[in-house]
Every structure is written in C-alpha cells, then in structure tokens.
Amino acid sequence: MLHIVDDEEVIRDSLAWLAQSRGLPARGYAGGQEFLDALQDLDVSGDCLLLDVRMPGMNGIAVFDDLFKRGLLPRLPVIFLTGHGDVPMAVDSLKRGAFDFFEKPFNDNQLMDRVEEALAASRKAAASAGVQARLATLSAREREVLDLILAGMMNKVVADKLGISMRTVEVHRAHIFDKMQVKTAVELAGLLK
C-alpha cells in the first residue's frame, strides 16, 4: 500500500491515480496527524509513504521524526515530496533514513519507479523482521542445532558434537523446521542467508 500525505487534494488524487496506473493500491491523508492517527490501526509492513514536507499543522519532518522514534523505518520507507526543499534538509532526511527526496515538480515515472523500489525494500525488511521473530522463538539448544545444521552437519555428527542422542537431534530439527516454517535444510539456509 502506498500512503500519500499531502495537504493538497489535487496532489493526493494525482499521486493515487499514478500509483493505481501501476497496479499499486494507494490511500491519501490530508495531513500528518491524520496519517499518524490512522497508523494505529494499520499494519504498514510492506508499505511506503509519500510525505509532503510543508503542510499546515504537523509538517512532514515532524511525521518522519515520529516514525523514526516508533522504529518504523525502514519497514515503512519514506519518500519526501516538497516544493520548498533545500539541500541541507534533503541530506539530513536521507542520513536519518528517508528512502528518497523529490522536489516538486517531479518526473512521474521516476517517482513511481522509486515508490516500487521502496515497496520492494519494505517487503524485504518486513520479511527479515518475520524471520528474526521466528528465530527468537528457538530455544538455546535449538539455536545450537540450527547452527550445526547450517554448517552442513548430519544428525549423527550434530548428536556427537553436542553429546545428545540422535533422536533428540531429530526432535530439535523438527521443532526448528516447524518454528521457522520450512520443510528442508536447504530452504532453511535460503531463509537465513
């Protein structure tokens, strides 16, 4: 989902139309606070935010700071849009984790290309966060078995190395595969690369 925060309705509508012309769902917000209020009910994993810098009330930089404090970057990449930007503002935003910074007027295709790249990066970050969450469910012993499996060791070798029975290794291996939502060691290695 592409979230568009701009106080100008015509800009929101045209950006939503551009996104939809590429098959991307989009939703507009008239201001920063409106977006932050809606954010409480949204799962933004895999999403992207087009954010105007200058708006009445809460400006785009304040919204960005709030997202940064909540730890939502880079799961929610932010592309700034502004008609009043300057180089220091752009550099500072990019250093703090903004995905990109576009000045109005902008090239529609270049902007939508960057939106698609941001959405891909967001999906990748969300998937990585999911893998990390699954890894966190493993016990200490399961982590040891996992590391040895990833090193290419067979169950018997893992059992000898850890001083446990081969059956115990098989049980740990089954639990690891279940928790990591994979069926093979190759699939597990691909997930963790």
Number of structural domains found in the chain: 2
Q: Residue 13 belongs to what domain range?
A: 2-130
Question: Do 85 and 148 belong to one domain?
Answer: no
Which residues neighbour 147 within 8 Å (Cβ) at sequence distance 6 or greater?
A: none
User: Are residues 75 and 10 part of one domain?
Assistant: yes
- Residues 35 and 82 both lie in one domain: yes
Q: How confident is the model at residue 171 (pLDDT cuts 50, 70, 90)?
A: very high
pLDDT at 177 over 90: yes
The reported pTM is: 0.75
Q: What is the pLDDT of residues 75-132, one digit of tens each?
A: 899 999 988 777 788 888 888 889 999 988 899 999 999 999 999 999 888 888 888 8
Q: Which amino acid, one-letter code, is at 143?
A: R
- Asked whether the predicted pLDDT for residue 153 surpasses 80, the reply is yes
Domain closes at, from 77, 104, 130: 130
Distance CA 65, CA 98 (A): 10
Confidence band of 179 (pLDDT split at 50, 70, 90): very high
112 and 145 in a common domain: no
Determine the Cα–Cα distance for residues 191 and 193; give it in Å rounded to an integer: 6
* pLDDT the model gives residue 44: 85
Q: Domain check: are 80 and 147 in the same one?
A: no
**Do the beta carbons of residue 129 and residue 75 sit within 8 Å?**
yes
Write down which residue in 110, 130, 150 finishes a domain: 130
CB 161 within 8 A of CB 148: yes
In this structure, the answer to whether residues 121 and 170 fall within a common structural domain is no
- Considering the domain architecture, whether residues 54 and 89 belong to the same structural domain is answered as yes
Is pLDDT at 56 greater than 80 in this prediction? yes
Which one of 109, 130, 151 terminates a domain?
Answer: 130
Query: Using one digit for the tens of pLDDT, what is the confidence trace for 11-51?
Result: 999 999 999 999 999 999 999 999 999 998 888 888 999 99
Half-sphere exposure of 94 (CA within 13 A, CB side): 11
